[in-house]
Structure 1
Amino acid sequence: MTTLWDTTGSAVVKALAAERRAAGALAFGLALTLVVVVDEKNVAAAESAATGAAAAHPCRLLIVVRRQIDAPHPRLDAEVSIGGRLGPGEAIVMRMYGRLALHAESVVLPLLASDAPVVTWWHDEPPTRIAFDPLGVFADRRVTDVSRAADPLGALALRAADFAPGDTDLAWTRISGWRTLLAAAFDGRADQPHQAQIDADPADPSAQLFAGWLRARLGVPVEVTGGGRRGIQAVRVAVDDGEVAVTRADIRSGTITRPGVPPRRLPLRQLDLGDLMAEELRRIDDDAVYADALAAWSGVPDLAGRSGHREHIWRDPMEQAAAPVAEPAGGAS
């Protein structure tokens, strides 16, 4: 591991090249570059999750910690390692101070793995508009987590207004198991769904995306009820001869019930943050199903048909607050 204090971007590039030469064959076979944007108080959690995801998907891990953007002098501290505490792959942790924190792309761009897709993940509250952050503009996939916002459903509405193909959110990833089991419950059935109910807190963005997915796929009204209960507890779909349901049995499994068929218990594990990121890194192409679910929930039409092109919009957070997103209707800018 190489630690650089008050350094430059070119020195970080040279240190990575030196670490790669020392590591030899261990430094090759990268599938992607994962850029993690996080503040100092959440670095440990982000590092742990990214390390677990990188173990499943060999990548170059670039962790950007924006610190003290009001510091009078720009400064960069970096830790460069291969096969160190952040897993077997290549990892660079960069702490940026002062105005440099607003131009993190100047350090990150030369460090991207050549000919490999780029995934940017914001572990903090999602940006109001991804085009405000160049670390998102140059990425092939962009991962946010609206559950970390003060108003998760408000943040989810912003994700719909600002959507471009390639965007996704961990609120969507959290319901992968539920969607899989419900699809399995309808396997081999030809009856017509009439309505659906999700037992969850209506303020839960994952439950609302689940409802959007059901509306988009089944074309039926969906109600989210359950008071303040944490997490999704059940989903029930009324059909011609009764009800098809998936209910949580415990933290590791769920039960499928269908008319005329004995109940069936299957895995339904609650994924931790590292598992969620590993699940997201399994695909680099656009997630059209997420776009359809988000469109059905938000009422913003044809999200999947938008242009995937973004242009950076410079906004200095030192001088102005984030402007609300009132568009776009035809494409992200």
Structure 2
Amino acid sequence: MIGLWDTTGNEVVKALAAERRSAGGVASGMALTLIVVVDEKRVREAEAAATIAAAAHPCRLLVVVRSDINGERNRLDAEIVVGGRLGPCEAVVMRMSGRLALHAESVVMPLLVPDVPVVTWWHSEPPDEIATDFLGVVADRRITDTAQAADPVEALHRRATDYAPGDTDLAWTRITPWRTLVAGAFDTTAAEVTEATITAPPTDPTAALMSGWLRARLGISPTLRETTEFPRMRSVELRCANGDELELVREGGMATFRRTGQNERQLPLVRRPLGDELAEELRRLDADQIYSQSLEAMAGESGLDDRPAQRVHVWRDPIAAKRAEAQVGAHAGPGGSAG
């Protein structure tokens, strides 16, 4: 491991090259570059998840920690690890402060592995518009996590409005086991589904996407039965045209499966570690059309797959925006009106 304090981007590139030479063939044959955007308080959690994902997908891991963007002094601290505590990958953890934090791409771009896909993962509240973050614009795949937003379901609607092919969200990844069990229930029948009910908290983004998936695949409008007794989606019930009823109910790490005329069964429905969820999304580096169709159905949008995959960077200075808001407030005066 190499630690560089109050350094420059050029020094980071040189140190990474030196560490690669000393590590020999430990980190060869990289499949992608994974950029992680994370808050300081979640760095260790993000590193643990990325380590699991890197075991399945050898990559160059670039962790970007932005802090104190209002600071007067630009500073870059970097930690370089090749084939060490972060698994079989080349990792650079970069802590940026001051105006440099708003231009992280100036440090990140020279570190991208040539001729391999780039994936950006925000382990924080997703940006309202990905185009305002150059680290998202440069990526072939973009992974958000609406569960970390103040209003997760509203954040999903923002993802639909802002969608471009190549986007995905970990709320979608978390319903893969649910979708697998529901689809498997129809291996032995061709009965048409006419109604569906999902029991979940009203703020659960996984339930919203499950509703969109059922709507997109079956052409029905699921009913959400709201509950506050459980922190996440509790059950999915389906009613068929032939009178059969199917129900999946989460019970800890298992799901109870009930179907008309059949014995009750227990099926695995384990909540996976964050690293396993991330690894699943890294398996595909093209656009996920099933996700986009489900998101489209959930949000009432249309034409998501027809949008351009490549975004154009939109520069917005958050510091200038705050100053403008402060000036408006000052001119408005204590009465709250600008006259």
TM-score (norm. length: structure 2): 0.92
Deviation above 4 Å: which 4+ runs of structure 1? none
- Bigger Rg, structure 1 or 2: 2
* Selected match of 2:252 from 250, 253, 265: 250
Per the alignment, residue 121 of structure 1 pairs with 121
Per the alignment, residue 234 of structure 2 pairs with 233
Contact residue 209 and residue 297 of structure 1 kept, 8 A: yes
Q: Is 1:103 aligned to residue 103 of structure 2?
A: yes
* 1: CA distance, partners of 2:190 / 2:305: 28
Q: Is 1:221 aligned to residue 221 of structure 2?
A: yes
Per the alignment, residue 54 of structure 2 pairs with 54
Deviation, 1:188, is 2.5
Per the alignment, residue 43 of structure 1 pairs with 43
Deviation, 1:258, is 2.5
Aligned pairs for 1:49-88 (under 5 A) are: 49-88=49-88
Contact residue 185 and residue 256 of structure 1 kept, 8 A: no
Aligned pairs for 1:137-156 (under 5 A) are: 137-156=137-156
Contact residue 185 and residue 257 of structure 1 kept, 8 A: no
The farther-off stretch of 83-92 and 108-117 is 83-92
1:276 partner amino acid: E
Number of equivalences: 320
* 1: CA distance, partners of 2:320 / 2:55: 40
* 1: CA distance, partners of 2:82 / 2:114: 17
Per the alignment, residue 263 of structure 1 pairs with 264
* 1: CA distance, partners of 2:235 / 2:154: 24
Deviation string 1:249-287 (CA, Å, 9 cap, x unpaired) is 322x22333233333332211012112111111111111
Contact residue 37 and residue 122 of structure 1 kept, 8 A: yes
SS in 2 for 1:88: coil
* 1: CA distance, partners of 2:139 / 2:111: 13
Per the alignment, residue 337 of structure 2 pairs with none
Deviation string 1:93-127 (CA, Å, 9 cap, x unpaired) is 00011111011011111111111111100111100
Per the alignment, residue 157 of structure 1 pairs with 157
* 2: CA distance, partners of 1:266 / 1:305: 38
Aligned pairs for 1:181-330 (under 5 A) are: 181-228=181-228, 229-239=230-240, 240-251=242-253, 253-320=254-321
* 2: CA distance, partners of 1:24 / 1:262: 57
Deviation, 1:150, is 0.9
Deviation, 1:40, is 0.9
* 1: CA distance, partners of 2:191 / 2:27: 53
SS in 2 for 1:7: coil
* 2: CA distance, partners of 1:181 / 1:149: 28
SS in 1 for 2:203: coil
The farther-off stretch of 133-142 and 237-246 is 237-246
* 2: CA distance, partners of 1:272 / 1:190: 34
Query: Percent identity among equivalent residues?
Result: 57
Deviation string 1:199-225 (CA, Å, 9 cap, x unpaired) is 111221110010000000011120111
Structure 2 alignment gaps of length 5 or more: 323-339
SS in 2 for 1:311: coil
1:38 partner amino acid: V
